[in-house]
Amino acid sequence: MLKKLILAATLLAFGVVVLGAFVRLSDAGLGCPDWPGCYGKLSPAHAHQEIAQAHAEQPHGPVSSVKAWKEMVHRYFASTLGLLIVITGIMAWIKREQLKQSPGLPLFLIGFVILQGLFGMWTVTLKLTPIIVTLHLMGGMTTLALLTWQLQRQSRDIAAVRGVDAERMKPYATFALVVVFLQIALGGWVSSNYAALACPDFPTCKGTWLPAMDLHHAFQLVRDLGMTAQGALLPLEALTAIHWVHRIGALVTLLVVGLLAFKMLRIPALARAGVFIALILTAQICLGIANVLLSLPLPVAVSHNAVAALLLLSLVMLNYRLRKALGRA
């Protein structure tokens, strides 16, 4: 039962991450401008009058019935995920002796998902402040990764890897996991600053390999959306810098994860996983290019987030296998 609940939570966490990307990319993050309800009501249906009035005052603003439902459905799913994590944490504590596993991770997840809920609230109440939006995204990815690790702990049919192979591959797998996590953070920074189309061409940016950039303002973390830390409008060169750095990160990710997959292909116990990682990596690079060339179509942009989550999960699972082979999981 515990394994089934953790599996359900993991699948739901993946859905929440993808749904969160859909909400963000469809500009529905402020569809309900308060929290946890919608204009203090349980659902947009109950807040129909308030939503209609806000939409009438600002027809092209962030509030509409469709956007409100997108935002609230995301909250409903996230709340259900939080409840599942609490249940699995309690069960892991009760069954700790039977499972012969420390309940530390599932109990930590309870605290972490509460923090993630606070970031969801701050995303709304602080009006999509970029650093809060990015941290909320990374919190969702971290929750998904930790649930995947916890699910792996309950699985007994993981193919064995020789100790010598695990020892050799572990540094590459760990480094690849860190690189992918940082690249996802950069992608979140691109998205939260609406910089995805700051470079409208590929492989160059605005027709050159090194465009005019403002790195100083681009990575000022404490500032409002579209503004510098000093309160001035964020220059276009800063958005270009954000996008360009994410592209460099994509190149580093391609090299690091590509090398890891190549090395995995030479180890029979890891060859199938290596093919899977290589395919996901290829799909992610293609989706990133398509986002630029097709001007960020919503299905492609959401898929880019979903495949990033899959790449992260595949590396979490690989690292678990290697640590288990070394007796450290």
Can you spell out the DSSP letters for 4-33? HHHHHHHHHHHHHHHHHHHHHHTT-TTSS-
Output the pLDDT for position 256: 98
Q: What is the pTM of this model?
A: 0.94
The burial of 174, by beta-carbon neighbours within 10 Å (0-12 exposed, 13-18 middle, 19 or more buried), is given as middle
195 and 150 in one domain? no
Q: Residue 329: name the closest of 149, 96, 64, 132 by CA.
A: 149
H helices of the chain, in order, are: 2-25, 48-57, 65-94, 96-99, 104-125, 130-154, 163-192, 215-218, 236-265, 268-293, 298-325
Count of structural domains within the chain: 2
On whether both 53 and 112 belong to a single domain, the answer is yes
Residues 177 and 309 in one domain: yes
**Signed CA dihedral, 159, 142, 120, 92: sign only:** positive
| Domain of 60, in residue numbers | 1-157
Question: What pLDDT is attached to residue 96?
Answer: 87
Statement to judge: residues 237 and 326 lie in one domain: yes
Question: What is the reported pLDDT for 62?
Answer: 87
Q: Are residues 153 and 165 in the same domain?
A: no
Q: Note the pLDDT tens digit of each residue in 10-58.
A: 999 999 999 999 999 999 999 999 999 999 999 999 999 999 999 998 8
Which residues of the chain carry a pLDDT beneath 70?
157, 159, 329
Q: Which one-letter amino acid corresponds to residue 48?
A: H
Instruction: Identify the pLDDT of residue 130.
Output: 97
Same structural domain for residues 169 and 302?
Answer: yes
259 and 143 share one domain: no
Q: Torsion-angle region of residue 35: left (phi > 0), alpha (psi -120 to 50) or beta?
A: beta
What pLDDT is recorded for position 327?
84
* 38 backbone dihedrals φ, ψ, rounded to 5°: -120, 105
**Hey, what amino acid is at 298?**
L
**Does one domain contain both 201 and 228?**
yes
Peptide bond connecting 297 to the previous residue in cis, omega within 30 degrees of 0: no
Q: Report pLDDT for 161.
A: 84
Residues 186 and 252 in one domain: yes
Cα–Cα distances in angstroms (integers) from residue 276 to residues 18, 50, 190, 286, in the given order? 20, 48, 27, 15
Cis-peptide, bond into residue 103, ω within 30° of zero: no
Looking at the annotation, which residues are catalytic? 71
Q: Which two tokens stand for residue 292?
A: 């630029």
What is the pLDDT, as a whole number, of residue 40?
92
Report the pLDDT value the prediction gives residue 223, as an integer from 0 to 100: 95
